[in-house]
Amino acid sequence: MLGPQTHLVTRYLDLLSQSQRVTATNIANADTPGYRTRQLEFGAALRAALDNPAAKSATEQASVRELGTLPVKNDGNDVVLERELQQLSETGIRFSHALLMLKGGLKAVRDAIHEGR
């Protein structure tokens, strides 16, 4: 009833919350010796969902890899707090936009139910 778009938005929201989790891990470990910045394979996971919208992949974990491009500090840690904070707010904004889309889809259904009375 809600169509494949809603499924995609749901998958997108799920990936965003997983991405937020990775960012939270990076920030929590900003002072951990030897820790390297991690990143979610966001694009690949979203592409998989786009290619096969019917697949039951909505709850699957996307893979996480170490970024490996940032300068490493003396203690073997390469977390850049500013980068993580930017990721944090960017993901938050994307999340609220996606929620708006989801809300729009749900509202259409809800209106149809109410008008039918």
| Spatial distance between the Cα atoms of 101 and 22, rounded to a whole number of angstroms | 24
For other proteins, which stretch binds (CB under 8 A), given 39-47, 49-57, 66-74, 99-107?
99-107
By C-beta, is 32 or 52 nearer to other proteins? Answer: 32
For other proteins, which stretch binds (CB under 8 A), given 46-54, 66-74, 96-104?
96-104
Alpha-carbon dihedral angle through residues 43, 46, 50, 55, given to the nearest 10 degrees: 140
Q: Looking at residues 10 to 69 of the shown chain, list those that interact with other proteins (rule: CB under 8 A).
A: 13-14, 17-18, 20-21, 23-25, 27-33, 35, 61, 64
| Spatial distance between the Cα atoms of 76 and 79, rounded to a whole number of angstroms | 10
Give the single-character DSSP code of 104.
H
For other proteins, which stretch binds (CB under 8 A), given 43-51, 65-73, 94-102?
94-102
| Terminal CA-CA length for the chain | 19
Q: Which residues of this protein are in contact with other proteins, per CB under 8 A?
A: 13-14, 17-18, 20-21, 23-25, 27-33, 35, 61, 64, 81, 84-85, 88-89, 91-92, 95-96, 99, 102-103, 106
